Structure 1
Amino acid sequence: MSFSAIICASQAASDSLGVLRANLHFAGNSLLEYQVRQAAEAGADQVMILVGAVTQSLSRAIDSLTADGISVSIVRDMVSLLREAPRDRDMLLVADGAIVPQRFYGAVAAQPGNVLLVTEDSATTARFERIDAGQRWAGLARVSPDVLFGTLDMIGDWDLELTLVRAVVQAGSQRIAVPAEDVMEARLALVGSQAEADLVSRALLAGKRAPAGEAGAERMLIAPLAARIAPEFLRSQVPAAQVRAGAIAVALIGIVATLLAWPMIALLLFLAAILLSLTVDRLVQLARRGGLEGWMGVMPHLIVLAGIALLGSEADRTMEGLYLAGLLAILMLGLRSGRFPGARKWAILTPGSALLILLVTTGGGYFHFGMTLAIACAILSLGLAVLGNESPES
Structure 2
Amino acid sequence: MSFAAILSASRPSADSPPGLRASLHFAGQTLVEYQARQAAQAGATRIMILVSVITPAISQAVDRLSADGIAVALVRDMVSMVRDAPRDSDILLVADGAIVAQAHYENMGAGEGDALLVTDDSRASAPFERIDAGQRWAGLARISPALLFGTLDMIGDWDLALTLIRAAVQKGARRVTVPQDDLLEGRVALVESQEQADLVAQAVTAAGAGQGHARGGIDHYLLGPLARLVSPALMRMQVPALQVRIAAIAMGAVALVPLELLWPVTGFCLLLVALLLSEISDRLDELALRAPPMGWFAFCAPAAALVGIVLAGGTTLAADLGVMLAIIMVADRWRRTGQARPWMIFTPASALVILIPSGVAGMLAGGLRVAMLLAIASVGAIILRRSD
Alignment partner of 1:115 is 2:112? no
What do the CA deviations read for 1:238-279 (whole angstroms, capped 9, x no partner)? Answer: 322222121111111112221122222211211111111111
Which runs of structure 2 are paired with 1:198-347 in the superposition (5 Å)? 198-206=198-206, 207-208=208-209, 211-212=212-213, 214-313=215-314, 318-347=315-344
- 2:140 is aligned to 140
Q: 2:367 aligns with which of 366, 370, 382?
A: 370
Q: Is the 8 A contact 1:213 1:336 kept in 2?
A: no
- 2:350 is aligned to 353
Shift in Å at residue 135 of structure 1? 3.8
Distance change >3 Å, CA 185–CA 354, structure 1 → 2: farther
Alignment partner of 1:104 is 2:117? no
Distance change >3 Å, CA 378–CA 134, structure 1 → 2: farther
What do the CA deviations read for 1:59-96 (whole angstroms, capped 9, x no partner)? Answer: 22223333444333333344554454444443221111
What do the CA deviations read for 1:365-389 (whole angstroms, capped 9, x no partner)? Answer: 3333332332333334334444448
Aligned residue pairs, count: 387
Shift in Å at residue 304 of structure 1? 1.0
What do the CA deviations read for 1:136-181 (whole angstroms, capped 9, x no partner)? Answer: 3221111123322333333356433222212112212123344444
Q: What's the TM-score, normalizing by structure 2? A: 0.88
Shift in Å at residue 203 of structure 1? 3.5
Indicate the SS of the match to 1:46: strand
Whole-Å separation in 1 of the counterparts to 2:219 and 2:203: 22
- Structure 1 residue identity aligned to 2:256: I
Q: Which runs of 5+ in 1 are unaligned?
A: none
Whole-Å separation in 1 of the counterparts to 2:332 and 2:343: 12
- 1:13 is aligned to 13
Percent identity over the alignment is 51
Q: Which runs of 5+ in 2 are unaligned?
A: none
Q: Is the 8 A contact 1:213 1:335 kept in 2?
A: no
Farther off after superposition, 108-117 or 247-256: 108-117
Q: Is the 8 A contact 1:91 1:142 kept in 2?
A: yes
What do the CA deviations read for 1:295-352 (whole angstroms, capped 9, x no partner)? Answer: 3223211221121111111xxxx12322332332232222333433222213322222
Whole-Å separation in 1 of the counterparts to 2:377 and 2:83: 64
Distance change >3 Å, CA 366–CA 39, structure 1 → 2: same
Whole-Å separation in 1 of the counterparts to 2:63 and 2:383: 45
Shift in Å at residue 213 of structure 1? 5.7
Indicate the SS of the match to 1:371: helix
- 2:60 is aligned to 60
Farther off after superposition, 79-88 or 375-384: 79-88
Shift in Å at residue 183 of structure 1? 3.6
Q: Is the 8 A contact 1:271 1:355 kept in 2?
A: yes
Q: Is the 8 A contact 2:99 2:187 kept in 1?
A: yes
What do the CA deviations read for 1:33-61 (whole angstroms, capped 9, x no partner)? Answer: 22223323434343222222221111222
Q: Is the 8 A contact 1:21 1:96 kept in 2?
A: yes
Q: Is the 8 A contact 1:213 1:332 kept in 2?
A: no
- Structure 2 residue identity aligned to 1:174: R
Q: Is the 8 A contact 1:320 1:372 kept in 2?
A: yes
Alignment RMSD? 2.8
Which runs of structure 2 are paired with 1:378-393 in the superposition (5 Å)? 378-388=375-385
Distance change >3 Å, CA 308–CA 182, structure 1 → 2: farther
Whole-Å separation in 2 of the counterparts to 1:212 and 1:84: 35
Whole-Å separation in 2 of the counterparts to 1:350 and 1:188: 39
What do the CA deviations read for 1:100-146 (whole angstroms, capped 9, x no partner)? Answer: 23343232223232111233444433333333455432211111233
- Structure 2 residue identity aligned to 1:375: M
Q: Is the 8 A contact 1:120 1:134 kept in 2?
A: yes
Distance change >3 Å, CA 212–CA 112, structure 1 → 2: same
What do the CA deviations read for 1:7-40 (whole angstroms, capped 9, x no partner)? Answer: 1112222234232111112232211122223323
Farther off after superposition, 39-48 or 134-143: 39-48
Distance change >3 Å, CA 346–CA 113, structure 1 → 2: same
- Structure 2 residue identity aligned to 1:263: P
Whole-Å separation in 2 of the counterparts to 1:258 and 1:120: 63
Whole-Å separation in 2 of the counterparts to 1:385 and 1:46: 38
Shift in Å at residue 223 of structure 1? 1.5
Distance change >3 Å, CA 366–CA 124, structure 1 → 2: farther
Q: Is the 8 A contact 2:147 2:168 kept in 1?
A: yes
Shift in Å at residue 356 of structure 1? 1.7
Distance change >3 Å, CA 234–CA 325, structure 1 → 2: same
